[in-house]
Structure 1
Amino acid sequence: MTSQQVLITVDELVEAMLSSRPPVVLDVRWQLGDPAGGDHYRAGHLPGAVFVDLDTELAAPATAEAGRHPLPELADLQAAARRWGVGVGSRVVVYDDWEGKAAARAWWLLRWGGLTDVTILDGGLGAWQAAGMRVSTGNATPRAGNVVLTGGQLPTIGIDDVAAADAASTLLLDARAPERFRGETEPVDPRPGHIPGAVSAPTGANVTADGRFRPEAELRDRFGALGAADREVVVYCGSGVTAAHQIAALAIAGIPATLFPGSYSQWSADAARPVAVGR
């Protein structure tokens, strides 16, 4: 997978919107600690974009056993995608106002579900506005889609297999902020720290100051320095959201990666699982 298969620029999106086959555009406004994504969407969004609720449409209900954002049931994801107007053969573009960290969850899930033409708007809403493009307010009302999702088209790994992974052949990347990895702070999960053997690789380093993904060569160098060139790569974060952003960055660099959906929220909720602190 290349940057052309992961990302779309503002100019490319405008051209696609004006084509005979315009994409379905999804607004995935969400950030940890900010439940008002829908309000932000209604205050201003890309023309025709449909709001996607990450907590209820891109995740199953939270449980200690499965984590804060378990993968949704395939039937539920398909029903949601049809509500958004996604049909058989649809092109889909996803965006947010958080450096693509929430939008990447939709990108990963729809690709996992079997869609092949899904891209992230590089730079998100900020890039759109910086280019002088207009925004719409209120709610969009898409025509119902007829997409059929298959599931399992991107790899995942369960908690027991993460625990059993051999560090010599598997690189476990922690996509959270460095202070959470080190255990200096933990705002939401039961125990501070990280999964033993994991390497800190915060998603913030995937993007430039304006929220766009770094160039392919820079990302390849970054992940190569972390040891991704010669090992299988598994990614986790707090709840499987920003880990999808890491997988997108790895894909741009040409490195396949596996998602641990339960992530640290699942791991830390199990008192029998060891937790490491510090570097």
Structure 2
Amino acid sequence: MSILISVEELAERIHAGSNNIILACLWEAHSGSGFPAFNSEHISTSRFCDVALALSSVPSSKTGRNPLPTKANLDRWFRRWGLDSKRQVVVYDNFKGLYAARAWWVLKWAGVEDVVYLDGGQKLWEAKGHQTLGGPGNLSTPGDLTADLGHMPTATIEDVKAHNGILLDAREANRFAGRKEFLDLKAGHIPGAVNVPSRDLLQEDGTFKSAEELREIFANVGITSADNVIAYSGSGNHSAQAIIAMNIAGIGTPRHYVGGWSQWCADPKNPVERGE
């Protein structure tokens, strides 16, 4: 089953009147800009996905900045979106693909089988000359899906501590090396981790690099299979994008430590490593 959908293919489907469910994945809770941005402009037929409220739980030092959502919360949003087993879900954002990647991973984890990621997102959609609309978006129709958690492999902080394989950190190089940190309590990374910044997996237009290029990038840090790999980032967004890239490359799906650096560094007992 495909992971990506191109801007051109989505435009053709919308023009033909297809019944895709399109979710615009924007960040609302912290910035307050998600729904106003959606209301200002979005891809035709989209429905608003508040990433912070729909795809996360309440943050804490024990769970990290963006812990996984509960079944009850996802069920509410599934009803709001009208998710249906007979309709494909397309996720996109107007940022760097990070929120769409989280949506793809969380929905797959919650048992939604047919989810695709718009390659290049709204920025490429507009760059290709496709129009956007304003307003509250499409009204949902009743769907038949409810959340069935656990369909993607995950790792706990205890799993990470006991791990003897490859630990993949998908944050940017400066955060990994501990040269800067603007989101979490400490700078650095989990000892022993290797770094593949998720931005290095994308081309200049925001689309993913080819499968061959991605395989080479991951092979450079010793990853040729998802077996015995745990991926993490700050709180599960960059790492979700890396997991998509690993699937495009044919490497497979690693375990995902969603608590990530935000959970790890909040405990003063956990060791911190800095440097490349």
- Could you state the TM-score of these two structures normalised by the residue count of structure 1? 0.93
Partner of 1:65: 62
Partner of 1:80: 77
Using the TM superposition, give the Cα deviation of residue 131 of structure 1 relative to its aligned residue in structure 2, in angstroms. 2.2
RMSD: 1.8
Q: Is the 8 A contact 1:206 1:249 kept in 2?
A: yes
Match of 1:108 among 102, 105, 108: 105
Partner of 2:115: 118
Partner of 2:247: 251
Partner of 2:133: 136
Q: 1:77 to 1:120 in 2, by over 3 A?
A: same
- Secondary structure of 1:188's counterpart equals coil
Unaligned runs of 5+ in 2: none
Q: Is the 8 A contact 2:29 2:52 kept in 1?
A: no
Q: Is the 8 A contact 1:99 1:212 kept in 2?
A: no
Q: 1:190 to 1:228 in 2, by over 3 A?
A: same
Using the TM superposition, give the Cα deviation of residue 35 of structure 1 relative to its aligned residue in structure 2, in angstroms. 4.1
Q: 1:154 to 1:275 in 2, by over 3 A?
A: same
Unaligned runs of 5+ in 1: none
Quote the Cα distance in structure 1 between the aligned partners of 2:151 and 2:237.
18
Where do 1:180-219 residues align within 5 Å? 180-219=175-214
Q: Give, as a single letter, the amino acid of the residue that structure 2 aligns with 1:217.
A: E
- Secondary structure of 1:60's counterpart equals coil
Using the TM superposition, give the Cα deviation of residue 101 of structure 1 relative to its aligned residue in structure 2, in angstroms. 1.1
Using the TM superposition, give the Cα deviation of residue 21 of structure 1 relative to its aligned residue in structure 2, in angstroms. 4.6
Quote the Cα distance in structure 2 between the aligned partners of 1:145 and 1:20.
18
- Secondary structure of 1:221's counterpart equals helix
Q: Is the 8 A contact 1:31 1:102 kept in 2?
A: no
Q: Give, as a single letter, the amino acid of the residue that structure 2 aligns with 1:187.
A: F
Where do 1:1-279 residues align within 5 Å? 5-19=2-16, 21-30=18-27, 34-140=31-137, 141-166=139-164, 170-230=165-225, 231-256=227-252, 257-279=254-276
Q: Give, as a single letter, the amino acid of the residue that structure 1 aligns with 2:232.
A: Y
Q: Give, as a single letter, the amino acid of the residue that structure 1 aligns with 2:149.
A: G
- Give CA deviations for 1:216-256 in whole Å, capped at 9, x if unaligned: 11111111111111552211111111211110111101112
Using the TM superposition, give the Cα deviation of residue 116 of structure 1 relative to its aligned residue in structure 2, in angstroms. 1.5
Using the TM superposition, give the Cα deviation of residue 188 of structure 1 relative to its aligned residue in structure 2, in angstroms. 1.7
Number of equivalenced pairs:
273
Question: Once structures 1 and 2 are overlaid, which stretch shifts more, 222-231 or 13-22?
Answer: 13-22
Percent sequence identity is 38
Using the TM superposition, give the Cα deviation of residue 183 of structure 1 relative to its aligned residue in structure 2, in angstroms. 0.7
- Could you state the TM-score of these two structures normalised by the residue count of structure 2? 0.94
